[in-house]
């Protein structure tokens, strides 16, 4: 639940900071999101693609690393630097969070170091982007 909360708040921060404009995403992230959206629409014809015109909705189809790529991209880092200040620390915290998230989501055993690192990342993100 706490991991999901951080992911949702990251999406909200990105969408709000980029004026909810999908074109503001890095091109490779835009491409991945569009591929996933169209694949979802093929699988579910009832999916209304118009409901995904805004960035916040599209970010439902972005993975954690794509959120990271968006934050640190050349075109948007200046927008997010006041929050995160240091790309290297941000990368470390994303790695810690991703390890914990992926272990839990894929029902893998979580060793104590991975759990503690992930918890530290969660605390860090809570401090940076709020609860």
- 65-122 pLDDT tens trace: 999 999 999 999 999 999 999 999 999 999 999 999 989 888 889 999 999 999 999 9
Contact 95, 124 (CB under 8 A): no
Closest CA to 100 of 69, 128, 72, 122: 122
**Given pLDDT bands bounded at 50, 70 and 90, which one contains residue 1?**
confident
Q: What's the pLDDT at 131?
A: 66
Q: What's the pLDDT at 105?
A: 84
* The pLDDT of residue 21 is above 70: yes
90: its two tokens:
């941000």
Q: What's the pLDDT at 115?
A: 94
Residues 45-64 as b or e (16 or more Cβ within 10 Å = b):
eeeeeeebeebbbbbebbbb
């Amino acid at each position: 639940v706490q991991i999901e909360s951080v992911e949702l708040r990251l999406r909200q921060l990105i969408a709000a900071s980029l004026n909810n404009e999908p074109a503001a995403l890095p091109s490779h992230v835009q491409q991945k999101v569009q591929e996933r959206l169209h694949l979802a629409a093929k699988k579910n014809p009832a999916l209304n693609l118009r409901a995904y015109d805004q960035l916040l909705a599209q970010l439902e189809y972005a993975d954690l690393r794509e959120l990271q790529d968006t934050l640190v991209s050349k075109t948007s880092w200046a927008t997010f630097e006041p929050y995160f200040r240091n790309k290297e620390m941000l990368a470390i915290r994303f790695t810690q969070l991703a390890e914990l998230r992926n272990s839990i989501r894929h029902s893998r055993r979580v060793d104590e170091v991975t759990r503690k690192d992930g918890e530290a990342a969660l605390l860090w993100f809570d401090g940076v982007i709020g609860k």
